[in-house]
Chains A and B, each alone.
Chain A
Amino acid sequence: MPHDHCDHPHSLLPPDPALRVKALETILTRKGLIDPAALDEIIDTYQNRIGPANGARVVARAWSDPAFKADLLADADPLLADLGFYGRQGEHVVVVENTPAQHNMVVCTLCSCYPWPLLGIPPGWYKSDAYRARAVREPRKVLAEFGVSLPQDTSVRVWDSTAEVRYLVLPMRPEGSDGMSEDELTALVSRDSMIGTGLARKPEAPA
């Protein structure tokens, strides 16, 4: 096969992965090919600025504004761009709506595709062999491992992200959330509910 290697370049690097990163960073920096300050900026972006709070804002707005929701389900990209949620690994987004009849769940069996501008960097379990292997074949057993059990009359649709289209699940608005503001609703939107391995949180009962 043409592109397979017998001499793996990675085997030239130190065995400890933390040292392996350091080695690559050092040689690339020394040659002027990367700027360590740019690396700090990338890490800070995904650690502190781009994460599931963005997706939660989209979901809360869809729950609050039927016209926005209809437009979002029909063609999400222009609306997400307006909200400032366009970007790397979120260039083509499709939002899929959970209903009593159908529950949606997202996986990438081939690698780890995930809507970064809306949810940030995927959690470890999303990238794990167990999730990638099993989500398509036994989604209900996987959901049970997340503590989710669906009614028998709800079908499951699993979206395997095999192209550059990224999927966001619009979870069902929980009972008892009537009258809550958009800001209050964002607190009910868990990351996992937007991947489809969770449900939206129920509002706390008034004291």
Chain B
Amino acid sequence: MTRMHDMGGRFGDGPVRPDAEDAPVFAEDWHGRALAVTLAAGALGQWNIDTSRHARERLAPKDYARFSYYEKWLAGLATLLVEKQVLRAEDLAQTADGGEGGEGTGAAAVAPHPLAARALKAADVAAALAKGGPADRPSEVAIAYAPGDAVRCRRPGGNRLVDGGHTRLPSYAVGALGRIVRVHGTHVLPDSAAHGLGEAPEPLYAVAFAASELWSAPEHPGDEVVLDLWQSYLEPV
């Protein structure tokens, strides 16, 4: 039921290797290019952030494990471009030589793409990044919990609308007892929005869990983990 990205609490990954604070933002030039291509393609408006996260998460486990961070982004982008029919698989196949071959007669010979009018222009980048994409929405679902209330994460976890679908309930918190520490208002439900099933906004909370509730050998009796969880992920206690 789980996917490779759901790795909170996993053993065996070795030490964290901090970088210097002044290390380059992009360790390789292609990293920045991968980020920029992904953001610019997202601006075409054919998918949302939940769809794009799910595209990375459903990479084959062996690909998820071997790909570096931005390789996962590129693979997710290739999936979405084909699935959303922005490009055809043949378009990608033509690029196998690095994009230098293919339609050799150049841009002028290519019929305009129906989405070309939506292409993000350099002059609009600053405004597009500043505008962002807020996730709060009005909702008809009443807020059921207040700070201090005890709640339990539902069991089993996983997406209840689409088997194997996107969810933001990490498996390490499934079934755990916590308490509400903050009400964030009502937000788009990723489990629905990732699959084209509508935004289905509902209340979102910050929920605190004692480390001893999550781990068999917690480091310290006072430690806690806080997760942001949607109301439908929770049950009253």
Chain B interfacial residues counted at CB < 8 A: 120
A42 and B96 in contact, given A136-B172, A157-B223, A158-B225 (Cβ under 8 angstroms): no
A4 and B164 in contact, given A12-B89, A41-B126, A124-B27 (Cβ under 8 angstroms): yes
For A28, the chain B residues whose CB sits under 8 A away are: 37, 40-41, 81, 87
Q: Residue-by-residue, is A25-52 near B (CB-CB < 8 Å gives 1, otherwise 0)?
A: 1111111111101111111011100111
A160 and B98 in contact, given A28-B41, A34-B120 (Cβ under 8 angstroms): no
Distance of A59 from chain B, by nearest CB (Å) = 14
For B115, the chain A residues whose CB sits under 8 A away are: 33
A27 touches B91 (CB 8 A): yes
B44 touches A33 (CB 8 A): yes
- Cβ-defined partner of A133 (8 Å) among B10, B78, B162: B10
- Cβ-defined partner of A17 (8 Å) among B32, B58, B70, B227: B70
Query: B232 interface residue, CB < 8 Å from A?
Result: no
Using a CB-CB cutoff of 8 Å, which residues 47-66 of chain B contact chain A?
Answer: 49, 53-54, 56-60, 63
For A111, the chain B residues whose CB sits under 8 A away are: 5, 53, 56-57
Q: Residue-by-residue, is A1-33 near B (CB-CB < 8 Å gives 1, otherwise 0)?
A: 111110111101110011111111111111111
> CA A93 – CA B6 in complex, angstroms?
23
> CA A131 – CA B121 in complex, angstroms?
36
For B54, the chain A residues whose CB sits under 8 A away are: 3
Query: B187 interface residue, CB < 8 Å from A?
Result: yes
B96 touches A14 (CB 8 A): yes
Query: B151 interface residue, CB < 8 Å from A?
Result: no
B30 touches A160 (CB 8 A): no
A21 touches B74 (CB 8 A): yes
Distance of A193 from chain B, by nearest CB (Å) = 10
Chain A interfacial residues counted at CB < 8 A: 95
Q: Residue-by-residue, is A179-207 near B (CB-CB < 8 Å gives 1, otherwise 0)?
A: 00000000000111000010000000000
Distance of B31 from chain A, by nearest CB (Å) = 9
- Cβ-defined partner of B40 (8 Å) among A38, A107, A156, A191: A38
Please give the residue numbers on chain B whose beta carbons come within 8 Å of chain A beta carbons, in ascending order: 5-11, 13-19, 21, 23-30, 32-37, 39-41, 44, 49, 53-54, 56-60, 63, 68-71, 74-75, 77-79, 81-82, 86-87, 89, 91-100, 102-103, 107, 110, 112-113, 115-116, 119-122, 124-126, 128-136, 162-165, 168-170, 172, 182, 184, 187-188, 190, 195, 204, 206, 208, 214-215, 219-220, 222-230
Closest 7 CB pairs of A and B: A26-B99, A109-B8, A155-B222, A1-B164, A32-B116, A23-B95, A163-B228
User: Would you give 19 A-B contacts (Cβ < 8 Å), ordered by A?
Assistant: A2-B165, A3-B164, A3-B195, A13-B74, A13-B92, A19-B99, A33-B115, A33-B116, A34-B120, A39-B37, A43-B35, A43-B36, A87-B130, A92-B187, A110-B57, A123-B23, A128-B13, A159-B206, A159-B226
